[in-house]
Amino acid sequence: MKVYNRLFSRELLLAYRNRGELANPLIFFLMVTSLLPLGVSPEPGVLSMIAPGMIWVVALLSSLLSLDGLFKSDYEDGCLEQLMLMPVSLYLVVMLKVLVHWLVSGLPLVVFAPLLATMLFLPDAGYLPMVSSLLLGTLSLSFIGAIGAGLTVSLRRSGQLLSVIIMPLYIPVLIFGASTVRNAVEGFSYLAPLLILAAFTCAAVAFAPLAVVAALQLSVDE
């Protein structure tokens, strides 16, 4: 456990040192949502209608910005190979790295989402479902995105390929996340899509690290 605690502390320290890069998703999230009323319409009725879907679409696109560097620095400086040689579970190492990535890039989106929802005139009934779905969904996006980051870690310009690989896997999260907020706003029960999103997130947390480990081993062996 001491090794994993040190790895967790190391990831937090690296995230703090690269906080400017990790802040890009939050800045993108804030800017796009702030400019949306200017580009679409300032009318509260129009904004409240598109708010559930737009918040989720912007959150999904924001999560893509920081995925490319998830394993890149460790691969380039040789730390990734050293981690594979250490007597530790690479599955747990990957899980720690993804959790730290979510804490510093995904969780801030959840925290600032209510403020942005206010700017888009989201009805009061949609706030709790929005925060709940984003809390689950951003965690799922981080773990799913880690699969693409592992597959493309050895490529120099992997941003576009990374998006192509993981975007189809993001679609279910987007559908059920936006449906959760939309159902709540329209007065229907939002528990069904929220529970499906929760199940999808649990599956991503449990099985995505296995795919990431396999992808990293293939990339290192090349």
Q: How far apart are CA 33 and CA 59, in angstroms?
A: 10
| Half-sphere exposure for 180 (CA within 13 Å, toward CB) | 26
Residue-level pLDDT at 203? 93
Residue 129 is predicted with a pLDDT of 92
pTM equals 0.86
Per-residue pLDDT of the chain (222 residues; tens, 9 = 90+): 677 777 777 777 776 776 666 677 778 888 887 787 777 777 878 888 888 888 888 888 888 877 877 787 777 777 778 878 777 788 888 888 899 888 888 888 888 888 888 888 888 888 999 999 999 999 999 999 889 888 888 777 766 778 788 888 999 999 999 999 999 988 888 999 999 999 999 999 999 999 998 888 887 765
Confidence (pLDDT) at 200: 93
Residues spanned by the domain of 90: 2-221
How many other C-beta atoms are found inside a 10 Å radius of the C-beta of residue 135?
18
Gap between the Cα atoms of 103 and 72, Å rounded: 18
* HEC string for the chain: CHHHHHHHHHHHHHHHHCHHHHCHHHHHHHHHHHHHHHHCCCCHHHHHHHHHHHHHHHHHHHHHCCCCCCCHHHHHCCHHHHHHHCCCCHHHHHHHHHHHHHHHHHHHHHHHHHHHHHHCCCCHHHHHHHHHHHHHHHHHHHHHHHHHHHHCCCCCCCHHHHHHHHHHHHHHHHHHHHHHHHHHHCCCCCHHHHHHHHHHHHHHHHHHHHHHHHHHHHHHHC
Q: How far is CA 174 from CA 47, 67, 146, 179, in A?
A: 19, 17, 17, 8
Q: What are phi and psi of 162, to 5 degrees?
A: -60, -45
Task: Give the number of domains in the chain.
Answer: 1
Residue in the structure block whose two tokens are 């480990």: 213
Q: Give me the pLDDT at residue 47, please.
A: 82
pLDDT at 139: 93
pLDDT for 1: 66
pLDDT value, residue 22: 65
∠ Cα 196 198 202 (to 5°): 115
